[in-house]
Chain A
Amino acid sequence: MASTPGTDTAPAIELRGISKAFGPVQANKGIDLVVPRGTIHGIIGENGAGKSTLMSILYGFYRPDAGEILIGGKPTAITDSQTAIRSGIGMVFQHFKLVQNFTVLENVILGAEDGGLLRPSLSRARGELKRLASEYELQVDPDALVEELSVGHQQRVEILKALYRQADILILDEPTGVLTPAEADHLFRILRGLRDEGKTIILITHKLREIMEITDNVSVMRRGEMVASVKTRETNPTQLAELMVGRKVLLRVDKAPAQPGAPILSVRGLRMVDTAGVERLRGIDLDIHAGEILGIAGVSGNGQTQLLEILGGYPEKGARLEGTVTLNGQPLPLTGSDARARRQAGVGHVPEDRQVEGLIMDFAAWENVAFGYHDAPEFQNGLLMDNAAIRADAAGKMQRFDVRPPNPELAAKNFSGGNQQKIVVAREVERNPDLLLIGQPTRGVDIGAIEFIHKRIVELRDAGKAVLLVSVELDEITALSDRIAVMFDGRIMGERLPDQATVADLGCLMAGVDPATTAPEDAITPATAPGLDEGVR
């Protein structure tokens, strides 16, 4: 990994011994990285491995505690994002940083205006966008409002912003998380085009498929360290997965075949129009039986959140709802918000976003273990709450779910993502609900906790309970579910059994194409690389 500073052959980016700690957490430990010019370099690692921290250092959001950054062979101190931009680094964040009610053009010049008057900048940008569009397949209507663009197009605007600022090095953080397979393919074509023009691209992801498909080199991060840097064509998904996790990965969740019983939840013709007038659910029919896990796959934003909220008893205020939902044969009221009544009816709910909904981050762990069940009779002591009882209950649950550190007094925000999730899962699962709604159970959760949480979900199923699992991770869906339903644009596109579903088949459904009706299954070209990482996380 030697480099010759100051020459044309110098790597676009070289990191030497970068370290960064947040309090006691060592997010990056002595990271070395060499990214040659004109290549696509993948950085792969589990959530929490330190990828995002490293890129934030590169983009000037954090200052490293130690280490050196060389850009084009020149040591560079990146003190803020302005310096990063001047050094030719452009960043496309996972969550776009666009002004929703500005046009594409206005967003592109925002912060890069030429002078006090907007018109010259706008016309210059218009010409530039035209050139970029034809050169790199980056077509976007420059006068469209960003809020009216699809997610894929918004991402193109982010890329255009970076290119307009003359970025030579483009960093993309989990760019395909919000894209359909087709959109992802288009993005990859754009990226290849950019590379062929001599741009350097760093792609951060935890999806092995993307790494294998598009990158030239790949670096693997684990627990804050760079554990390997290899040429992509000299490696394979299994090897990368092992490097990421640091041991052999358990490919499948151990579970016996489901023994479905009576239906617990029946949803018929469920439609929902939100307050903005957008039809979020367009007639959902679902049945979940006792002793069964129904997995709902789909790119996020296709109505899964609304479905979970409605079943959890708190549809968006002012939304219009139609259809019927019955739990254990009893119809549930659809309108009005009463998550409390829903819990009493036997519905547990692990929400998709634990930090916004599932936990009060400033509350101590023990207060969070009672959250939503704080009116349970065993937690009351006359007019006051029985805090001693809640603490004892919390300590027990945290111990049984191996929450670390097992300290109920610590605020929720001070636990790692996996342990936060364990607190939520412990709270909901230990109430022994008839129906467990669980959204993105392992988002931002480390692999050890993933296995643990999966086991608990299967245990609940084996105890004869119904589970509705919503996840954007296909591997998780296929590993856990007894039946898979794919959601697209507020509809269930189709149902599959996990052992019969291929990733390509599910991918088509997720993109809104039903392979069974449009074409014979083998005629569909899967949007995947050869040697697909079947079952490998």
Chain B
Amino acid sequence: MERMPKWADVVLTPLISLVLAFAISAVVILAIGESPVEALKVMVEGALFSSYGWGFTLYYTTNFIFTGLAVMVAYHAGLFNIGGEGQAAMGGLGVALMLLFVPWPHWALALPGAMIGAAAFGALWALIPAWLQAKRGSHIVITTIMFNFIAAALLNYVLVNLLRPVGKMDPATANFPEPTHLPSISDLLLSLGIEWGKNTPVNVTFFIALAACLLVWLLIWRTRLGYEIRAFGKSEPGAVYAGISPTRITVIAMLISGGLAGLMAINNVMGEAERLVLNSVEGAGFIGIAVALMGRNHPFGVLLAAFLFGFLYQGGGELALWTSIPRELIVVIQALVILFTGALDNMVRMPLERLFMALRRKKEA
């Protein structure tokens, strides 16, 4: 017997969590002497009331879709991949190497090449923790989080000592060659005669992210591999009984997870920065955890949650720009959303479940 209807589980619970997070944010904003109504207005207008705002919101959304899907795929295998940050950073290195050292004639050819580089490097970075988990029992939460630091240090070394162009002070690669630059969506629309989102970073990667949502959905719920991943994630003894190899599933699920995290680099490194800089991921790997949690580990939920966090990122930037609310407060708001939708999920869920069960009993009586 389900404790509450599916819509309440999928829609109502996160919605209430969100409202609670915003309510407490409002109290904090009041406490520092600003108007929460004004703040909300600035955020909504800045993120959603102009094509410029949308351009940025969707750009961030794209990042979070990839990292959210990465966490989600691993989660279905019962693995908590906290290493999205490092895997996305390594994906950036894959993109940079592909674009700097292969003379691509056109972006349409460079894109699949860069995708392979991004996914391969991200997957490779997830492979080592996966292997250690499967073979040595090293806990994947610990290893992936440590691999974030190793990735950061490694990139630091590579950028400063190996890929930095001679004579530059900046720890970054040279700009990628002109033919590899991805068209932004505003460029594409402009060629159709529509003026939208001028000077915004959202690019064709957004469509790749949408396609990734669909492919991940197919993978998890329509393929044999997905079936085995879910079975293993729910019950390892059950999987062993059914002849599913825990080693194989752990490794494959983490390869897919790391590959998805790595693919984020197509958006931020290839599409936006057009070179690899230090700390290119900017925390998107960690946001992916919240996105997957809030998205109920379903690709469609991940899409919506990624959009919410995209909105928070862009709206938060606007808030810092146009009000005297300090930038740090945006982090507070984001943290509250993560806290309520992720960590404190059961705080909302359990009373809701009780409410629905009481309602049902009343109906039956």
Contacts and interface: CB of A to CB of B under 8 A. Distances in A.
B30 interface: no
Interface in B285-321: none
A17 to B, nearest CB: 17
A359 interface: yes
A357 B237 contact: yes
Contact of B222 (A337, A339, A375, A385): A385
A341 B222 CA distance: 23
A372 B243 contact: yes
Given A23-B1, A385-B223, A340 B243 contact: yes
A25 B234 CA distance: 26
Interface string A393-419: 000000000000000000000100000
A363 interface: yes
A521 interface: no
Interface string A351-366: 1010011111111000
B8 to A, nearest CB: 16
Nearest to A384: B222
A372 B242 contact: yes
Contacts of A342: 243
Contacts, number: 76
Interface string B231-251: 100110110111111000000
A356 B228 contact: no
B27 to A, nearest CB: 34
Contacts of B224: 374-375, 380, 385
A374 B222 CA distance: 12
Nearest to A413: B1
Contacts of B241: 312, 314, 339, 349, 351, 357-358, 372
Contacts of A25: 1
A339 B243 contact: yes
B243 A360 contact: no
A363 B231 contact: yes
B357 A361 contact: no
Interface in B315-365: 357, 360-361, 364
Interface residues of A, number: 37
A371 B231 CA distance: 9
A353 B245 CA distance: 19
Interface in B232-275: 234-235, 237-238, 240-245
B88 to A, nearest CB: 28
A128 B1 CA distance: 47
B3 to A, nearest CB: 8
B162 interface: no
Interface string A189-215: 000000000000000000000000000
Given A384-B223, A385-B222, A363 B243 contact: no
Interface string A330-352: 00000001111111000001010
A356 B237 contact: yes
B181 interface: no
A24 B364 CA distance: 9
Nearest to B242: A372
Given A23-B1, A314-B241, A362 B222 contact: no
A371 B244 CA distance: 10
Interface residues of B, number: 24
A202 B2 CA distance: 34
A21 B222 CA distance: 37
Contacts of A313: 243
Contact of B240 (A314, A363, A384): A314
A383 interface: yes
A367 interface: yes
A23 B238 CA distance: 27
Contacts of A414: 1-2
B218 interface: yes
Contacts of B227: 367, 370, 374, 385
A312 B228 CA distance: 19
Interface string A1-24: 000000000000000000001011
A387 interface: yes
B317 to A, nearest CB: 40
B212 to A, nearest CB: 17
A387 B238 contact: no
Interface in B207-234: 218, 222-224, 227-228, 230-231, 234
A26 to B, nearest CB: 11
Given A337-B240, A384-B223, A385-B227, A357 B245 contact: no
B1 A359 contact: no
Contacts of A349: 241
A380 B225 CA distance: 12
Contacts of B360: 23
Contact of B235 (A341, A356, A367, A383): A356
A358 B235 CA distance: 10
Contact of B243 (A24, A338, A353, A384): A338
A431 to B, nearest CB: 13
B242 A339 contact: yes
Given A357-B235, A360-B234, A384-B223, A343 B243 contact: yes
A374 B235 contact: no
Contacts of B2: 414
A399 B28 CA distance: 59
A471 B357 CA distance: 38
Contacts of A385: 222-224, 227
Interface string A377-395: 0001001110100000000
Interface of B: 1-2, 218, 222-224, 227-228, 230-231, 234-235, 237-238, 240-245, 357, 360-361, 364
Closest 7 CB pairs of A and B: A340-B243, A339-B243, A372-B242, A357-B241, A23-B1, A384-B222, A360-B234
9 contacts: A25-B1, A313-B243, A314-B243, A342-B243, A349-B241, A353-B237, A357-B241, A371-B231, A383-B223
Interface of A: 21, 23-25, 312-314, 337-343, 349, 351, 353, 356-363, 367, 370-372, 374-375, 380, 383-385, 387, 414
Given A357-B241, A358-B238, A372-B243, 15 more contacts: A23-B360, A25-B1, A314-B241, A339-B240, A339-B241, A342-B243, A357-B238, A359-B238, A361-B234, A362-B234, A371-B238, A384-B222, A385-B223, A387-B222, A414-B1
